[in-house]
Amino acid sequence: MDFIFDYISVRMFWRILLFIHFVLAVVLLVAVTLQSVAVLMPVRQAAGNFIQRVRAAPPTWYVPLIVILYVPTFLLGAWVYVKYRTYVRIPMEQLGHWWTVGSFEFKEHIVAMGMGVLPAYWYFWRQPLSGDNAAVRKWLTIFLAVSVWYAFLVGHVANDFRGVGS
Amino acid sequence: MTQTLDVSERVTQPNRSSHATGATAATTAGKFGTFAITFGIAFALLYTVFEQLNWPLFTYHPAVGKVDFWMQRPRSGEGPPMYWYGWLALSFTGAFVLGWIATVVSSQWLYRATIFCCALAALWLAAYTGAIFIADRVSFDAEFLKSVWLSAIPALVGAAVVAYLLPSPQRLWTSLVLIMPIGCLVILGYSLKSYFMR
C-alpha cells in the first residue's frame, strides 16, 4: 500500500476513497429511490411525464444494481470509517457535536442491518416473483431505501464537519 | 402494454395446494431462500446482542494499526479502539453458520426454532426491563429482580408457549426477516439516547 503514497499524499488518498464512496452512494441512492417509487406508486401506463415513466418501470430492473452497489459502498464506507474514528469523531466529541456522533453511530447499525437483509432482498426479488411474499418484498425494499437515505444524509453531515470540501 | 404489466403477469399465484399439505421450507423457499431469510433474522439478532454486550471477535486500534482478539479496553498511547468490525465479523460468521444449518434441518423445526429464539429475545428484554422498573419502585428490597438470569425464566416459558401454539409459523418466519432488523434498530437506537440527551 505504501507505494501509493509515493505518488499522492496520505490526505489525498483518503479524500479519493471518500469521494468514490460518495459517488457509489449517490448511484445507490438513485437506484433505491427509483425502485421505491415504482414499488409504492406503480402505474400501468408508461405514457406521460418523467415521474409517471419512473413509476411504470419494473422494480426488478433495479435489484442487481442495488445488490452490486450496496456491497462495495458498504465495504468502502467501512474502510473510510477508520479515518472517521481517528480524525473526525475525536474533534466532534471535543466540540460537543453529540447529535452528529450519535447519528453516525446509528448509521453503523442501520447499514449493517441493510447488509444483513440484502440476501433476503435479493431472494424475494428473484423471478418468478411470489405473490405470497409481496408485502415482505415491498417493505424490505423500503427498509433498504430508508437505510441508504439515512446513511447518505448522516455521512454528508459528517463530511461537512471534516471531509472533502470542508 | 407496459412492462409493469409483464412483471405483474409473472407474479405467481399463492400455491394453495402447498398450504393445504403443509409446505416445507425447501419446497417453498428453496435452499437459497431458506439460507437468506435465516441469515437476515440471525444477523439482526446476533449483531444486536454482540453490540449490547460488547462482544467483538477482535478489536482494532487504528492509531497503531494493531488487532487484538476479542474485546480490549483502550490503552494509553494507542488511540481509540474500534469494535464495530469485530461485531460485524462475529455476526456475519454466526448468521452464515445458522443460515447453513437452516438448509439442512426440517422446515417445521426451523420455523419453530426461529420463532422461539426471536420470542425469547423480545420477552427476555421485556421481562428484564419490567423487573428493573418494579425493583426501582417497590418499598421493600427487590434487588434480586435485577438479575438477568431471573428474567430468563418467564421469557423461556413465554417463548416456548408462543413457538408451540402459533398456528401458521411459516408466514411469521418469513415476516421476521423484516420485523427483527426494525425491532433491533429500535433497541440499538434507544441505547444511543445518551448522545441525544446531553
At what angle are helices A63-83 and A98-124 packed, to 10 degrees? 150
Q: Exposed/middle/buried for A36, CB within 10 Å: 0-12, 13-18, 19+?
A: buried
- What pLDDT score was predicted for residue A166? 65
Interface contact flag, B185 A134, Cβ < 8 Å: no
- What pLDDT score was predicted for residue B15? 42
- What pLDDT score was predicted for residue A45? 65
Asked whether residue B8 carries a pLDDT value surpassing 70, the answer given is no
**Could you give the 3-state DSSP secondary structure of residue A77?**
helix
B175 contacts on A by Cβ (under 8 Å): 136
- What pLDDT score was predicted for residue A53? 74
Give tens-digit pLDDT for B109-118: 999 999 999 9
Distances (CA, A) of A126 to A60, B55, B185: 8, 35, 27
A113 contacts on B by Cβ (under 8 Å): 43-44, 47, 181, 184-185
Give tens-digit pLDDT for B141-187: 888 888 889 999 999 999 999 999 988 788 899 999 999 999 999 99
How far B30 CA sits from the closest chain A CA (Å)? 10
pTM of the model: 0.89
B84 contacts on A by Cβ (under 8 Å): 78, 81, 108, 112
Asked whether residue B26 carries a pLDDT value surpassing 60, the answer given is no
Look up residue B75 and give its amino acid.
R
Radius of gyration of chain A (CA): 18
Instruction: Please give the residue of chain A at the shortest CA–CA distance from B89.
Output: A112
User: Does A106 contact B at CB distance below 8 Å?
Assistant: yes
Q: Are A111 and A151 in contact (CB under 8 A)?
A: yes
Q: Are A129 and B11 in contact (CB under 8 A)?
A: yes
- What pLDDT score was predicted for residue B25? 52
- What pLDDT score was predicted for residue B10? 42
By Cβ distance, the residue of B4, B36, B88 closest to A122 is B36
Asked whether residue B42 carries a pLDDT value surpassing 70, the answer given is yes
Look up cell 423484516; give the residue.
B178
